[in-house]
Structure 1
Amino acid sequence: MLEFQNITKIYKSKGKEVVGVDNVSLKVNKGDIFGIVGYSGAGKSSLLRCVNLLERPTSGKVLVNGVDLTELSSKDLRTARLKIGMIFQHFYLVSQKTVGENIAFALRAAKLPKNRIDARVDELLDMVGLTDKRDVYPGQLSGGQKQRVGIARALANNPSILLCDEATSALDPKTTLSILRLLKDINKKLGITIVLITHEMDVVKEICNRMAIMQDGRVIEEGEVYDIFASPHEPLTQEFISSVVSFEIPPAILKDVQGEIIKILFKGSVAGEGVIADTMQRFDVKGNFLHGTIEYIQDRPLGIFLMELQGDSQAVKDAKGYMEERGAIVEVISHV
């Protein structure tokens, strides 16, 4: 398990102190995939780099499996870092070395016996789907292939934690999806804990189980990804969610609305049921769909719909009550 306890990181710039991370406490369970989301300058990269003490916290503790890394000697810290792999946005491969040599470098640094290095390199290349690229140089690879080499290198010493610093930001959407699926597969097969930082909610939706939103060095919201998508509380979180699930209704449509506009949220299996159709048949109301979608988060459906309800006030009230009895969450957006 990874735990941040009251982590603060203060930088000094031109004689002034700048707070990069402000008293953050988080727990990441063993084997989880945890996303840290925020805009540039939110403090997410600084926090991530505190895990392996590439950035040493000004105060607070970083515990990995109960051991506070901030209290380790230099020798013990070097040993601990071998169990914390890291992949980066810009890959950082050595261009003069082949793919195999790039991966082998991490193994030699960990003093793995020479007679085991070749076999381990082959194993890692097979894991990331690059068995035919061992003797190729990075300049001959696509961006996605370079990141696969970066992942193989990060996994070389069988880490228990894998840190991903905007690992897909330089990739196109199709390649991003393939890298995320690879990370998810690695997490499942190896049980490795993955912590990734990103500003892309599509990435979080695709791979993460839990997430935290950072703003101005602080965590402002944290929880299960599904629950945060279903009910974001903070304005910044709502802004991030809207980049994936947008419900802007054109003013031209709104001016013609004659009833009550409601937002209907269906969680889990309820999203696949015909609740709205049953409601329209059961009650003397007319429904007009304005917007709607069903998102799949960790294979769980989340249905979100905006619609106009027309009818007398009691019928509309009864219809909303029925939908809530069926498991929907109903929110009134506006009255006419």
Structure 2
Amino acid sequence: MLEFQNITKIYESKNKKVVGVDHVSLKINKGDVFGIVGYSGAGKSSLLRCVNLLERPTSGKILVDGIDLTKLSGSKLRVARLKIGMIFQHFYLISQKTVGENIAFALRAAKTPKNKIPGRVAELLEMVGLTDKRDVYPGQLSGGQKQRVGIARALANNPSILLCDEATSALDPKTTLSILKLLKEINRRLGITIVLITHEMDVVKEICNRMAIMQDGRVIEEGEVYDIFAEPKELLTKEFINSVVSFEIPNEILKGVKGQVMKILFKGDVAGEGVISDTMQRFNVKGNFLHGTIEYIQERPLGIFIMELQGEPAAVNEAKHYMEQRGALVEVIEHV
């Protein structure tokens, strides 16, 4: 388990103090793929770098399996850091060394016995799908291949935690998906805990099971990714989710609407039960779909529809209550 206990990070200059992380407490369970989301300046990178003490917190504790890393120094801290791998947005490969030599460098730095390095390098290259690139230099690789080398290097010393600092932000969408698929497989195969910071909700939706939203150095919302997508509480969270699942209805369409407009959300198995068609048959109302989709998050369906219901007010109200009884979340949308 990784735990942040009341972490604060303050940056000081001659003229002012800037609070990068403001009293953050989080628990990340073993095997989680945990996303930390926020815009630039939200404090997510500062928080991530506190994990392996690249940024030493001003106050608070970083616990890894119950051990407070902020209390360690010297050789004990170096040993603890070996169990925390990190991959970066810009790869940071050594251009004068081959792919194999880049990975071997991390092993030598950890004092891996010389006779075990070639076998471990081969094992890691196979894991990330680059067996044929061992003797190639970074300049000959694509961005996705460079990031795969970065992942192999980060895994060299069998870490229990893998930190991903905007690891896909420099990649095109297709390559991003391939890297996320690789990270998901690494998580499944090795049971490694992944902490991923990003400003892209598509990334969180694709790979994470839990997440936190940061703003101005604070965590403003956290929980299961599915639950947050279904029922976001904070305005910023809704803004991020709308970047992935947008339900903005053009005003021109709403001007012609005569009935009651509702946002209807179906979670889990309810999304496939035909609740809306049952409602139309049971009550004397007419329905007009304005927008809708079914998203799959952690392989669970999340149905979101915006529709107009026309009929007598009592019938419309009964239809609304019936959908709620069937497990839907129904919100009336005010319109002019």
The question of a shared fold, defined as TM-score above 0.5 by the shorter chain, is answered with yes
1:233: which partner in 2? 233
Give the alignment's TM-score, normalised by structure 1: 0.99
1:196: which partner in 2? 196
2:5 is matched with 5
CA-CA distance at 1:203 after TM superposition: 0.2
Q: What displacement does 1:75 show?
A: 1.1
Displacement of 1:281 in angstroms is 1.1
1:254 partner amino acid: L
Cα deviations by residue, 1:105-158 (Å, 9 ceiling, x for unpaired):
000001111110000000000000000000000000000000000000000000
* In structure 2, distance between residues paired with 1:235 and 1:321: 27
Instruction: Say if 1:144 and 1:92 are closer, same or farther in 2 by CA, change over 3 A.
Output: same
What's the offset of the Cα at 1:335?
6.1
Name 2:166's counterpart in structure 1.
166
| Residue 273 (structure 1) shift | 1.6
Partners of 1:259 and 1:211 lie apart in 2 by: 37
Partner of 2:277: 277
Cα distance in 2 for partners of 1:254, 1:115 equals: 71
Following TM superposition, the consecutive aligned residue runs of length 4 or more in structure 1 with deviations greater than 3 angstroms are none
| Residue in structure 1 matched with residue 183 of structure 2 by the alignment | 183
Give me the whole-angstrom Cα distance separating, in 1, the residues matched to 2:189 and 2:15: 48
In the aligned structure 2, how far is the partner of 1:326 from the partner of 1:234? 26
Relative to structure 2, which stretch is displaced further, 70-79 or 215-224?
Answer: 70-79
Alignment match, 2:68: 68
Contact 1:8 1:19 in 2 (8 A): yes
**Equivalence for 2:151:** 151
Match of 1:302 in 2: 302
> Which is further off, 11-20 or 311-320?
11-20
The question of whether the paired residues in 1 share the 8 Å contact of 2:254 and 2:335 is answered with: no
Which structure 2 residues correspond to residues 78-97 of structure 1 after superposition, within 5 A?
A: 78-97=78-97
| Sequence identity percentage | 85
1:14 to partner: Cα distance: 3.8
* Counterpart residue type for residue 105 of structure 1: F
Consecutive unaligned residues of structure 2, counting only runs of 5 or more, are none
Instruction: Quote the Cα distance in structure 1 between the aligned partners of 2:15 and 2:159.
Output: 38
Q: Does 1:248 align with 2:248?
A: yes
8 Å contact 1:259–1:335 — kept in the other structure? no
User: Is residue 2:120 matched to residue 1:124?
Assistant: no
Is structure 2 residue 139 aligned with structure 1 residue 104?
A: no
2:57 match: 57
Q: How far apart are the structure 2 equivalents of 1:223 and 1:73?
A: 33
Does the CA-based 8 Å contact 1:86-1:163 persist in structure 2? Answer: yes
Q: Does the 8 Å CA contact 1:31/1:192 hold for their aligned counterparts?
A: yes
Tell me whether 1:209 sits opposite 2:209 in the alignment. yes
Equivalent-residue separation in structure 1 for 2:168 and 2:16 (angstroms): 33
User: Which deviates more, 273-282 or 79-88?
Assistant: 273-282
SS in 2 for 1:150: helix
For this pair of structures, how many residues does the alignment match?
Answer: 336
Deviation (angstroms), 1:73 = 2.2
Question: 2:169 is paired with a residue of what secondary structure?
Answer: coil
Aligned-residue CA RMSD (Å): 0.7
Quote the offset at 1:74 in angstroms. 1.5
TM-score scaled to structure 2, two decimals?
0.99
